[in-house]
């Protein structure tokens, strides 16, 4: 088999493993529960594992290459594993080198890159030691504090990635999912418990836990002290804490006011500037498959949007009124009226797909595609700073 055919085969293999964004065809609860656990993925909706081929057909003019220093180019030329943004606007990316054709068994090492100009140019921070299984998610709390997930382990840094610590968590038989960032605090779930970490350190269980047993299926971090989680199992329900997890009380069900209420299948996210957004999946995958509810008062009351919103079910909240939304086979949409209406700001052609990215604020977002070319996997970043009216293509590491 030729080198080009090997590359195409590898692209297809990597495409089959992509977990973000969610496909437009919303899966049933049982299918969604089959996803592997994510400890940090989804924290502030910034951590994305990248793979697969595609072209983002939204450019308004010729893109400008993103210059990188020689060390960064050597690390980034072949594989961009994840990209994330800090609240300050500093962008971080992790790459790995593995020769001309990358496979799951040929990763040589991981490198952290940093950009101070929204991904136009990059500098090398240094290696990310101790990665064994591969990077499953990156949560960036600040320019100095971040965590990444490596299979059953968590790595953290408090100095911008110059030094990392690793903590083994073990397996999670419950398959719990959900996490969020509030300042430099990571609030997430593991093995049916809410756990928290501060300043790049290890996660520890909160002193109290939501009632019930089994999986926790969603978490929204409102602040370092306040969060809402969904307990799944035979008696699912939403619970909130206002004292950093010491006590938990029942919380309002965001799906109750919708035309297809389903407390057993939902996920919730918090915007950096406030506001909560809930995606409520219709039982058994029935039409309209999923609906949206929003809250401007920390989830005490909810505004239902019972119509079936077009596009994918991956929502990145910014505030109580603004959010971005997409999916692996979906256009990019943006709402400025709490989800009542959505504007298609980036249209995809037939067979095209998105592979990842991040949302910084109401006007700034970046999405990623990759495609085979010249014997390597060519990664392109697509950035907007005007709410999606125009986009700039940035060639990463070429």
Residue 237 has pLDDT above 50, yes or no: yes
Q: Which of 28-37, 58-67, 167-176, 245-254 has the highest mean pLDDT?
A: 245-254
Q: What pLDDT score was predicted for residue 12?
A: 34
> By C-alpha distance, which of 188, 183, 141, 185 is closest to 169?
188
Q: Above pLDDT 70, what percent of the chain? A: 73
Question: Given pLDDT bands bounded at 50, 70 and 90, which one contains residue 15?
Answer: very low
| Greatest alpha-carbon span in the chain | 60
Contact 249, 239 (CB under 8 A): yes
Q: What pLDDT score was predicted for residue 165?
A: 96
| CA atoms of 47 and 210, how far apart (whole Å) | 26
| CA atoms of 221 and 42, how far apart (whole Å) | 11
Question: Given pLDDT bands bounded at 50, 70 and 90, which one contains residue 164?
Answer: very high
- State the average pLDDT over residues 105-131: 87
Contact 38, 69 (CB under 8 A): no
- Rounded (5°) CA angle 275-214-22: 50
Q: What pLDDT score was predicted for residue 375?
A: 53
Q: What pLDDT score was predicted for residue 286?
A: 82
Contact 47, 41 (CB under 8 A): yes
Q: What pLDDT score was predicted for residue 76?
A: 38
Find the range with the poorest average confidence among 122-131, 234-243, 377-386.
377-386
171 three-state secondary structure: coil
Average pLDDT, the chain: 78
Q: What pLDDT score was predicted for residue 289?
A: 84
By DSSP bridging, strand 123-127 and strand 137-140 are unpaired
Q: What pLDDT score was predicted for residue 23?
A: 24
Question: Given pLDDT bands bounded at 50, 70 and 90, which one contains residue 262?
Answer: confident
Q: Above pLDDT 90, what percent of the chain? A: 53
Label residue 242 exposed, middle or buried (CB < 10 Å: 0-12, 13-18, 19+): middle
Q: Which two three-digit tokens encode residue 69? A: 């220093």
- Integer-rounded Cα Rg, in Å, for the chain is 20
Question: Given pLDDT bands bounded at 50, 70 and 90, which one contains residue 45?
Answer: very low
Q: What pLDDT score was predicted for residue 98?
A: 56
Q: Which domain holds residue 13?
A: 3-396
| CA atoms of 76 and 94, how far apart (whole Å) | 8
97 three-state secondary structure: strand
Number of Cβ within a 10 Å radius of residue 390: 14
Q: What pLDDT score was predicted for residue 376?
A: 56
Find the range with the poorest average confidence among 28-42, 225-239, 305-319, 344-358.
28-42
Q: What pLDDT score was predicted for residue 330?
A: 81
| H/E run at residue 74 | helix 70-76
Higher pLDDT, 4 or 297: 297
The b/e string for 188-206 (b: 16+ C-beta within 10 A; e otherwise) is bbbbbbbbbbbebbebeeb
Q: What pLDDT score was predicted for residue 311?
A: 75
Domains of the chain: total: 1
DSSP assignment letter at 76? H
**Which CATH number does the domain housing residue 279 bear?**
2.130.10.120
71 three-state secondary structure: helix
Whole-model pTM: value is 0.81
């Amino acid at each position: 088999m030729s080198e080009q055919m090997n590359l195409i085969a590898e692209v297809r293999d990597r495409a089959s493993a992509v977990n973000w964004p969610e496909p437009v065809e919303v899966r049933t609860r049982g299918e969604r529960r089959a996803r592997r656990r994510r400890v940090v993925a989804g924290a502030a909706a910034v951590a994305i594992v990248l793979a697969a081929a595609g072209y983002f057909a939204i450019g308004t003019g010729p893109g400008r290459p993103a210059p990188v220093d020689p060390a960064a180019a050597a690390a980034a030329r072949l594989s961009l594993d994840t990209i994330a943004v800090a609240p300050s606007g500093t962008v971080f990316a992790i790459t790995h080198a593995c020769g001309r054709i990358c496979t799951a068994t040929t990763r040589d090492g991981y490198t952290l890159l940093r950009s101070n100009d929204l991904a136009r140019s990059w500098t090398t921070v240094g290696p990310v030691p101790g990665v064994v299984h591969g990077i499953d998610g990156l949560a960036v709390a600040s320019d100095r504090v971040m965590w990444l997930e490596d299979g059953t382990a968590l790595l953290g840094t408090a100095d911008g990635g110059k030094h990392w610590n690793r903590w083994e968590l073990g397996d999670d038989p419950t398959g719990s999912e959900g996490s969020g960032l509030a300042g430099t605090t990571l609030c997430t779930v593991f093995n049916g418990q809410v756990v928290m970490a501060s300043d790049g350190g290890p996660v520890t269980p909160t002193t109290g836990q939501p009632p019930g047993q089994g999986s926790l299926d969603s978490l929204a971090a409102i602040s370092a002290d306040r969060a809402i989680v969904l307990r799944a199992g035979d008696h699912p329900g939403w619970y909130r804490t206002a004292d950093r997890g010491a006590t938990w009380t029942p919380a309002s069900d965001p799906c109750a006011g919708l035309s297809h209420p389903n407390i057993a299948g939902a996920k919730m996210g918090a915007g950096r500037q406030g506001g909560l957004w809930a995606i409520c999946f219709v039982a058994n995958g029935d039409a309209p498959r999923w609906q949206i509810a929003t809250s401007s008062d920390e989830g005490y009351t909810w505004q239902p949007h019972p119509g079936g919103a077009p596009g994918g079910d991956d929502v990145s909240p910014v505030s109580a009124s603004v959010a971005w939304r997409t999916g692996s086979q979906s256009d990019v949409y943006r709402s400025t009226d709490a989800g009542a209406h959505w504007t298609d700001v980036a249209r995809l052609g037939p067979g095209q797909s998105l592979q990842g990215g991040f949302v910084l604020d109401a006007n700034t977002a970046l999405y990623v595609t990759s495609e085979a070319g010249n014997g390597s996997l060519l990664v392109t970043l697509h950035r907007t700073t005007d709410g999606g009216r125009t986009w700039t293509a940035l060639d990463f590491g070429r």
